[in-house]
Amino acid sequence: MTSPVFASLPDLPVKAVLHEIGAALSTQGLAVLSAPPGAGKTTLVPPFLLDAAWRGDGRIILLEPRRLAARAAAGRIASLLGEAIGERAGYRMRLDSRISARTRIEVVTEGVFARMVLDDPELKGVAAVLFDEFHERSLDADVGLALALDVRAALREDLRILVMSATLDVERVAALLGHPPIIESHGRSFPIDIRHGDRSPNERIEDAMARAIIEAHSSEEGSILAFLPGQAEIKRTIERLEGRLPAATDIIGLYGTLSQAEQDRAIRPVAGGQRKVVLATSIAETSITIDGVRIVVDSGLQRLPAYEAATGITRLETVRVSKASADQRAGRAGRTEPGIAIRLWHPGQTAALPAFTPPQILASDLSGLVLDLAHWGVTDPTSMAFLDAPPAPAWREARALLSSLGAVDAEGRLTEAGRQIRELALPPRLAAMAVGAAAEGQGMAACEIAVLLTEQGLGGTSVDLEDRLRQFRSDRSPRGEAARGLARRMASGLGVRRNASAGPVLAGALLIRAFPDRIALQRGGRGRFVMANGRGAELAETERLSGATMLVIADVTGSAGRHRILSAAEIRLEDVEEHLPSAITTGTETFFDRQSRQVRARRVTRIGAIVLEETPMARPTGADAARALAEGVQMLGLDVLPFSKEGRQLRDRMGFLHRTLGDPWPDVSDTALLANLDDWFVPFQTDARGLSEIEPGSLTQGLMSLVPGASRDLAALVPTHFQAPTGNRHPIRYDGDEPVLSIRVQELFGLTVHPAIGGGRIPLLLELVSPGQRPIQTTRDLPGFWVGSWKEVRADMRGRYPRHAWPEDPAQAAPTARAKPRGT
């Protein structure tokens, strides 16, 4: 394929493989491109493909992971074509769009593309889809690729797909695509001097970064790009740098909540004689170019979302970057000239970094994915081509949430309410809130709150969502106007009139619908709350909301034990009663009281884990009490149970059979018994109301219930005792790896066969003891002992115990349990 555009493209490294890319897409329709940062893949590949014969008049869709990258890419491509953005090259994202009827290269954010496919499964008018920076492995990128491959397989064999990445396990991706050509562009990078500035564990990251930036600025030339984990650290580092760098140096932050103008300022070239220090999150690792940078200072940290499926809470964790990310960051210093990368960690720590950043699909709320795939007609994610399959627990939790919202039925299929929820292009919780509020005349306010919560930084930074909503409504910035326009479009789709947002609204009353599990009650003092999901959450005592009796919490961060509230609204119990009465339940609860070790009962009114009112009731018996006792055993451990000697021996025997024979003999270890209390404990405790009332015999009965039905003759396999030739019975121990019999040696005289159990298959380990019960010998071969080391034992023991028999040939002697009469 030849292209008139080709000659006009700049001489970047990827240009050398453009014809190879074109040929692969022309003949096979699929390809994987591996190219390092700065190779030009984002800028050169889309315009080169404009003149491909297979494109016809179809559009080329270029996916970018972030809005800043999408705008920057569209701008660079338009510049190469000698046009303004919105002509042949434009962009489309949630709050901003610059496309026209002429546009043939559309740079879109990954979430926008997924919705494009879901709304138009044939992707009419689309000739090719290019996945840029796929190594970042965002959830939207993984979903978008799976959908695109499904479209190509079922409806559009002519759809071209190119996956592009800077650092990527290309073989895995190629296998997912059916092994198309893998094209490599080695790029062109100037030498990078990697240095290390180890920081003390007690030194705050902003102090270490400020120190490293000041030192680098004073000793080196060029602009500086510094990587920090988040917005808060960037702001604190800027505070430490102010007044400590020359006036001709601009200090600029770069993170997701900044306005478009502020983000563009960070990547714009500086005026002559000026230097620039850009402090950025991972947003600057790939996709964008910051002119003039030849020094990178890397904190080695990043902030990643971690989803707790059990609580539905996504919190941000500060973690070490991957080795791939560290290499990407360092590479920013060598884009246009030799550079320097300063890493604030010890050189030896680099080898311990994970190879790649974990894919988002493995640690994300999957409710949006489950909803989208239900719309696609898919209820089983294994039928889709995911590079990493969605984790089953998170999938189940997401499906349960959607079911509670009425979005899917019992089989996971989309309901009519689910269609309304999906059409709003919001997280399912917020979409369900808007749909429900619209039916009660509050649809506009609900859509405003939903946009406020999904667009970081809108309405300011107040924790109180009432304050943020008021500021949002009065925000006259371009971003504020665009966000309100989005809210109006969403509300219009729900049948809401344009002026329906007038008048006051209680944000909390609306948010109850979205976050019933995060209704919170003050408990433990000002600023301390317990949520309906059972987790605690805190506010600074200086916050107005810290004095509220009840809140509904929209966003939290921090560890599971101590969540910090980021956004919330005040509510009253009456709001819950009016808007979500199903959240309040009243019933009788039986529970185990740890202090008294007794079973108690109470009449309780609650919202999830929040107890609103309780009344003690008479102590119960029966199945409920037995289950409460089981909770107590789970809490305190098996040692609280009064096993009899018979019961402990039975458990030892069963454990021995499980270890030696395996199935069908059950595992009776502490872990296994605690995990299966419903099977062997609960059914036998219908009369007990406390631990002190448990009968030892009931525990033995419970253990016996676990014995396989076809193998109940335990005595034949693992007898409790061994009957010696003297007629005496001696207990056999089964608490180790082999059965043990401790016995006086005189009682075994005359035996010529080693004692065994299990039909003679399992020999006993004999602990032979003297008349004084001191160990003489252990053996697994009694006949061998008689003819072997008995002679030494006899010589040693005769003098110590002269009144006991020590025959020369014990195999022929009569067994005895008695001493010889005195005088003999």
Q: What is the pLDDT of residues 522-548, one digit of tens each?
A: 998 899 999 998 889 999 999 999 999
Is 781 a residue whose pLDDT tops 70? Answer: yes
- Residue of 533, 511, 505, 509 whose CA lies nearest to 521: 533
Q: Do domains 6-184 and 192-361 have the same CATH topology?
A: yes
Q: Residue 792: what residue type?
A: E
Q: What pLDDT sits at residue 1? A: 45
Is 45 a residue whose pLDDT tops 60? Answer: yes
Mean pLDDT for 557-570 is: 82
- Residue 153's pLDDT band, with cuts at 50, 70 and 90, is very high
Is 824 a residue whose pLDDT tops 60? Answer: no
What is the per-residue DSSP string for 211-261?
A: HHHHHHHHHS-SEEEEE-SSHHHHHHHHHHHTTSS-TTEEEEEE-TTS-HH
- Residue 499's pLDDT band, with cuts at 50, 70 and 90, is low
- Residue of 163, 167, 141 whose CA lies nearest to 388: 141
Among 121-135, 500-514, 755-769, the minimum mean pLDDT is found in 500-514
Asked if residue 748 lies in contact with residue 724, where contact means CB atoms within 8 angstroms, the answer is yes
Mean pLDDT for 464-492 is: 91
Q: What is the pLDDT of residues 376-420, one digit of tens each?
A: 999 999 999 999 999 998 899 999 999 988 899 999 999 999 999
Is 114 a residue whose pLDDT tops 60? Answer: yes
Domain residue spans of the chain: 6-184, 192-361, 584-712, 719-812
Q: What pLDDT sits at residue 820? A: 74
Q: What pLDDT sits at residue 575? A: 92
Query: Which fold does the domain 192-361 belong to in CATH?
Result: Rossmann fold (3.40.50)
Mean pLDDT for 254-276 is: 79
Query: Which fold does the domain 6-184 belong to in CATH?
Result: Rossmann fold (3.40.50)
Mean pLDDT for 672-680 is: 95
Tokens of 439: 């039916």
Q: Residue 646: what residue type?
A: E
Which residues of 527-609 form beta strands (DSSP E)?
528-531, 536-538, 550-557, 563-571, 585-593, 598-607
Q: Residue 666: what residue type?
A: P
Q: What pLDDT sits at residue 287? A: 64
Q: What pLDDT sits at residue 357? A: 84
Ramachandran class of 441: left when φ > 0, alpha when ψ lies in -120 to 50, beta otherwise: left
Asked if residue 483 lies in contact with residue 458, where contact means CB atoms within 8 angstroms, the answer is yes
- Residue 504's pLDDT band, with cuts at 50, 70 and 90, is low
> In sequence order, which residues have a C-beta less than 8 Å from that of residue 278 and are 6 or more positions away?
223, 224, 225, 226, 252, 253, 254, 266, 284, 290, 293
- Residue of 720, 718, 727, 711 whose CA lies nearest to 759: 718
Q: What pLDDT sits at residue 502? A: 44
Phi, psi of 609 (to 5 degrees): -85, -5
3-class secondary-structure state, position 556: strand
| Distance set, CA 408 to CA 369, 435, 788 (Å) | 13, 15, 77
Mean pLDDT for 290-304 is: 89
Q: What pLDDT sits at residue 188? A: 64
- Residue 712's pLDDT band, with cuts at 50, 70 and 90, is low
Is 344 a residue whose pLDDT tops 90? Answer: yes
Q: Is 532 exposed, middle or buried (0-12, 13-18, 19+ CB in 10 A)?
A: buried
Give the residue ranges of DSSP H helices in 662-749: 670-675, 677-680, 696-705, 714-717
b/e per residue, 468-494, with b = 16+ CB within 10 A?
Answer: bbbbbeebeeebbebbbebbbebbebb
Ramachandran class of 695: left when φ > 0, alpha when ψ lies in -120 to 50, beta otherwise: beta
Percent of the chain with pLDDT over 70: 96
Q: What is the pTM of this model?
A: 0.74
Mean pLDDT for 795-814 is: 89
Q: What pLDDT sits at residue 310? A: 66
Q: What is the pLDDT of residues 219-253, one digit of tens each?
A: 999 899 999 998 889 999 999 999 899 988 999 99
Is 624 a residue whose pLDDT tops 80? Answer: yes
Spatial distance between the Cα atoms of 287 and 131, rounded to a whole number of angstroms:
12
Is 2 a residue whose pLDDT tops 60? Answer: no
Spatial distance between the Cα atoms of 466 and 449, rounded to a whole number of angstroms:
9
Mean pLDDT: which of 103-107, 617-621, 718-722 is highest?
A: 103-107
Mean pLDDT of the chain: 89
Spatial distance between the Cα atoms of 714 and 320, rounded to a whole number of angstroms:
56
Is 649 a residue whose pLDDT tops 50? Answer: yes
Percent of the chain with pLDDT over 90: 61
Q: What pLDDT sits at residue 152? A: 95
Tokens of 308: 């707790």
Asked if residue 430 lies in contact with residue 453, where contact means CB atoms within 8 angstroms, the answer is yes
Q: What pLDDT sits at residue 182? A: 94
Is 167 a residue whose pLDDT tops 80? Answer: no
- Residue 726's pLDDT band, with cuts at 50, 70 and 90, is very high
